[in-house]
Amino acid sequence: MNIKHFVILSLLLVALSFSACRKQEKFPVIPAIEFVSLEAVEDAGDGTDVCLCFKFQDGDGDIGLDETDTQAPFDTSSTYYYNCFIKYFEKQNGVFVEVETPATLNMRIPRLSDQDEESISGELYLNLFANNPFSPYDTIRYELFIVDRALHHSNTITTSEYVTN
């Protein structure tokens, strides 16, 4: 073995040892979410009032839908057309009560990874409407869970209370 081959082989071994030391996190394939914050945002003309932030992790990276994901079970008549399910609650006489909103708060989170079987994690920010003009109550909160493309449901999180204007 000449010196040139020895140097190349040594560099390859060093590179492999560094990549072997770098741990790739592995998560369960069922997505998990964790509440981070619910904060007021400036109205950018679209009427949104609060920004909900939550952390997520998923072991196979199949969170999110493309706009073209409209075949069953993601078609418009399916429960799974949406992949983020949000419930709205108002504090009425000291107790939080779920309130049906005129329009659904559920939404479609876009695809977060193009890699197959890749563990992913991060934070998502959702802009939501906080004011219910039909209600005399001023304290609200939300509950939500997400569903991945394999139809695994995450845990459900509850936000902090928020006092509307």
User: What are 30-64's pLDDT values in tens digits?
Assistant: 999 999 999 988 765 655 689 999 999 999 989 99
Cα 89 to Cα 101: distance, rounded to the nearest angstrom:
10
Q: Is 122 helix (H, G, I), strand (E, B) or coil?
A: strand
Give the pLDDT of residue 117: 76
pLDDT for residue 22 is more than 60: no
pLDDT for residue 143 is more than 90: yes
Cα 125 to Cα 105: distance, rounded to the nearest angstrom:
14
Are the CB atoms for 128 and 144 separated by under 8 Å? no
Domains recognised in the chain with CATH numbers: 24-163 (2.60.40)
Q: What is the pTM of this model?
A: 0.81
Q: What percentage of the chain carries pLDDT values higher than 90?
A: 58
Give the pLDDT of residue 102: 85
Report the chain's mean pLDDT, rounded to a whole number.
Answer: 83
Polymer length of the chain: 165
Q: What average pLDDT does this structure show over 120-143?
A: 88
Cα 90 to Cα 83: distance, rounded to the nearest angstrom:
23
Q: What percentage of the chain carries pLDDT values higher than 70?
A: 81
Give the pLDDT of residue 11: 40
User: What are 65-109's pLDDT values in tens digits?
Assistant: 999 999 999 999 999 999 999 999 999 999 999 999 888 999 999
Picking from 87, 84, 93, 86, the residue whose alpha carbon sits closest to that of residue 135 is 93
pLDDT for residue 5 is more than 90: no
Give the pLDDT of residue 21: 46
Picking from 126, 128, 125, 123, the residue whose alpha carbon sits closest to that of residue 104 is 128
Are the CB atoms for 128 and 142 separated by under 8 Å? yes
Phi/psi at 18 (5° precision): -65, -40
Give the pLDDT band of residue 132 (cuts 50, 70, 90): confident
